[in-house]
A and B are shown apart, each in its own frame.
Chain A
Amino acid sequence: MAAFAAVYDRYALRIHAWAAHVLGPGSADDVVQEVFVRVWRKAHQFDPERGRFSTWLMAIVRHHVVRQLERSGRERRVAAADVETALRSIVDPAPPPDERAWASEQQRALGRAIGALPSDQRRVLVLGYFLGMTQSQMSRELGIPLGTVKKRVRLALRKLRASLGGADDGPRLRVVTDE
């Protein structure tokens, strides 16, 4: 039990914040509970060779939150605006309110980068990650061309990556190599 509680202590606040902003504060506790019950039951499916635990867990959270959003009928526009308003406030993070959720300088750097993104780039990041929308859905939701959405996604992710010290050296075009 102590082992499971340790995982809960580390991640519950993140899941709660995600659910509270996307679904509304009244749903957040239930989402945390349902996600952790699912984690308990699916723990055997986690394979550390295939990725980090946090990535696996957040994929479960996203799937659950997006499904709840569809059921709730809450407007995506409203949910997105709620998340964006929160993220926009991270331009210069104050001392961390909770060390477990905001533990490392890396996370702080990422937070500053999100806060500093142009709003149109932050918007596609929020719609994609927190609300589970595809680029085509974003295009329809925002009433802008698909190419513009893709460009905003690309710019947003590269700025975040750069904030963590990542090099801008990935393949830009479909390339063919000998392997």
Chain B
Amino acid sequence: MIEHETREDLEAYALGALDDAERRRVSRHLAGCASCRSAVAEYDSMLAELPAALAATSTMVPDPTVLRRVLAVATRQPPWSRLAGFALGAAVVLLILAGALNLQLNQTLAQEREIFRRLAGQQEIVFEVVDSPRSTKTFLRSPVSGSSAYGKVFVRSDLPFVVAMAGNLPPPPEGQRYHLWLTLDAGETILAGILTQQDGFGSLVYQADRNGPTFQSVRLIAQPPGATAPEGVPVIFWSR
């Protein structure tokens, strides 16, 4: 038997407006209650957009030198700390863009930079799709027991973009590349794209013809370029 918190307390908790004793009580409850955590997360996501609303009314902008000053302060740290800070700074973005990849901070910076570089041209889209309370996330698993290959597909209900990311992929067979196939709820199967893949990591952004596309299945299959149908065993997949 679990006694849940009241909705009013969860709302006030998300707002940061509970007194200390109440906040501690709710925190203890949240630690063991996924449904209440989910409710708070929903309000958290909504409230985190309030500053954007405030910014929209503002004609003031930060001084253009602020970023340079931030980096100057950050890079004044001791060498070991600077190196860590750089890796962690890059990791902040990667954890937004590719948080779903469960990238660990001990991965090489070169890999992280490469993923970001590939996504950089579509940065705004990726941000909007991945970092939104309206997004849904689908986990792709390998059909092979023991494989660590994985992937995640993000879709946002009010946008047509599909952001796909994959990690720990084995090198595709000679002459083949990873093709991402989406089977829509309507039954149509489409090639979302060929994954730009390096060092086991890959990503792509696909624009569907409607907002919030939903799928019956998602498959990533190594195939020769020019493949017109999803043939072969997927390296990772998800199906309803």
A interface residue numbers (CB < 8 A to B) = 1-8, 10, 12-18, 20-21, 25, 28-29, 32-33, 36-37, 39-41, 43-44, 46, 48, 51-55, 57-58, 61-62, 83, 86-87, 89-90, 93, 96-107, 110-111, 114, 124-125, 128-130, 132-136, 138, 150, 153-154, 157-158, 160-161, 164, 166, 170-179
Given A7-B96, A104-B128: A177 in contact with B67 (beta carbons within 8 A): no
Which has the most chain B C-beta neighbours within 10 Å: A18, A55, A174, A179? A55
- A146 to B, closest residue via Cβ: B19
Contact B44 A52 (CB under 8 A): yes
A18-B55 Cα distance, complex, nearest whole Å = 7
B interface residue numbers (CB < 8 A to A) = 1-8, 10-12, 14-19, 39, 41-63, 66-67, 69-71, 73-74, 84-86, 88-96, 99-100, 102, 105, 112-113, 116, 120, 123-124, 127-128, 131-134, 158-159
Q: Which of these, A96, A102, A104, contacts B132 with CB under 8 Å?
A: A104
B29 to chain A, nearest CB (A): 10
Contact B85 A40 (CB under 8 A): yes
Given A40-B74, A103-B124, A161-B46: A173 in contact with B6 (beta carbons within 8 A): yes
B190 to chain A, nearest CB (A): 25
Contact B51 A4 (CB under 8 A): no
Contacts of A102 in B (CB 8 A): 52, 55-56
Contact A17 B8 (CB under 8 A): no
Given A43-B88, A129-B47, A171-B7: A135 in contact with B18 (beta carbons within 8 A): yes
A166 to chain B, nearest CB (A): 7
Contacts of B66 in A (CB 8 A): 12, 29, 32-33, 36
Chain B contact surface mostly: helix
Contact A13 B47 (CB under 8 A): no
Q: Which 10 pairs of residues, A with B, have the shortest CB-CB distance? A: A48-B99, A43-B88, A14-B51, A4-B89, A3-B90, A128-B17, A3-B93, A17-B55, A101-B55, A111-B53
Contact A2 B120 (CB under 8 A): yes
Contacts of B93 in A (CB 8 A): 3-4, 6-7
Contact A21 B46 (CB under 8 A): no
Contacts of B6 in A (CB 8 A): 171-174
Contact A114 B50 (CB under 8 A): yes
A78-B65 Cα distance, complex, nearest whole Å = 29
A132-B20 Cα distance, complex, nearest whole Å = 13
A21-B14 Cα distance, complex, nearest whole Å = 22
Contacts of A44 in B (CB 8 A): 84, 88, 91, 105
A-B contact pairs, 6 of them (CB 8 A): A13-B55, A32-B62, A36-B67, A55-B48, A98-B55, A107-B56
A94 to chain B, nearest CB (A): 9
- B36 to A, closest residue via Cβ: A171
Contact B44 A51 (CB under 8 A): yes
A5-B123 Cα distance, complex, nearest whole Å = 12
Given A13-B61, A53-B96: A164 in contact with B46 (beta carbons within 8 A): yes
- A30 to B, closest residue via Cβ: B66
Contacts of B159 in A (CB 8 A): 104
B35 to chain A, nearest CB (A): 8
Given A4-B90, A174-B4: A12 in contact with B62 (beta carbons within 8 A): yes
